Amino acid sequence: MSYVGPDFDPPQPRRPRRRPLTVAVAALVPGALLGWLVYEAVGGSGGDASEAVGTPSFSSSAPASPTAASTSAPKSTDDEKPSPTPSTSAPAASGPLKGKVVVIDPGHNPSNFQHTAEINKKVNIGTNWKECDTTGTSTNSGYTEAKFTLDVAHRLRTLLEKQGATVKLTQDGDRTYGPCVDERARIGNKAHADAVVSIHADGAGAGQRGFHVILPGSVHAGAADTRPIVASSADLGERIAGNFVRVTGSAPSNYVGDGTGLVTRKDLGGLNLSTVPKVFIECGNMRDTKDAAQLTSGAWRQKAAQGISEGIVSFLRG
């Protein structure tokens, strides 16, 4: 099903069509879109996302030697005080998610731009080699993706802790750069996380709007074997997409995903190397002025965190 929200410009030319989605996607997301239409009818607003699909955050390159990330700790520019990486909440005494571990992966790092040599070094993602990390994108006014992802991560952590979950962050603005994409995956694996969500915002062209959730494709090469987590990650992603529509009023991307808000990829190290259920969410397109107005709004970022949280809770409670 394709979809264009009533306040969207005509869709831009699509990327090549992705592989067919599961029956579960067809059942869940259209219902969420119906909720979106009701929301718009009573005055809601539309769409948001991050890691550019045309130029993914983890771009391909020729093989080279992997490099370990530094662990020194500068001050965070975000509202919350950073803690050692990975940042971990104290287990809650009670709540429906007591005993569950959630890893939140805020995409990029506010200081990556100061360490381009380090983040351009390659790490092995099983299928090939990729840059350690990238700087991420930003709005036309200079609000960075790294700052956005940390803010949403902090809000999401608070919401999940209230549900009783133990929450870990892959980084909290407390490192000089990174972590690299392979280390981000290892953090979730080592924590034996019940769910991992990597937060991003896209850098696509103007007029390309909306969010999308990236699911791991079936990969079996080198150190990568996503086959055991493909189904569970799809379930996690579908639940997040449906709740994100409902809570934020945002529409699914009008430039990837054929209107479902779901995209499957095999080129992202953070997904390829995961051994636990994991998805990425591109919350909106920072390079589109309408999406950027939402991404720069604290009130909207709270809705984004709420939508992601409710999707995670739904997944973990079955």
HSE (side-chain half, CA atoms, 13 Å) at 147 = 15
Contacts of 78 (CB under 8 A, 6+ apart): 110, 147, 150, 151, 154, 173
Task: Give the integer Cα–Cα distance in Å for 209 and 285.
Answer: 6
Task: Give the integer Cα–Cα distance in Å for 139 and 287.
Answer: 5
Longest CA–CA separation in the chain, Å: 55
288 in Cβ contact with 52 (< 8 Å): no
The continuous run of DSSP H or E covering 289 comes out as helix 289-295
282 assigned to active site: yes
Handedness of CA 77, 82, 85, 91 (dihedral sign): negative
The continuous run of DSSP H or E covering 185 comes out as helix 181-190
User: Which 3 state secondary structure label does DSSP give 315?
Assistant: helix
Task: Give the integer Cα–Cα distance in Å for 4 and 295.
Answer: 19
Q: How many residues does the chain have?
A: 318
The token pair that represents 309 in the structure block: 């949280």
Quick one: which of 175, 127, 152, 156 has its CA closest to 48? 152
93: alpha, beta or left, given left = phi > 0 and alpha = psi -120 to 50? alpha
Given the residues 131, 145, 282, 310, the one annotated as active site:
282
Active site residues: 282
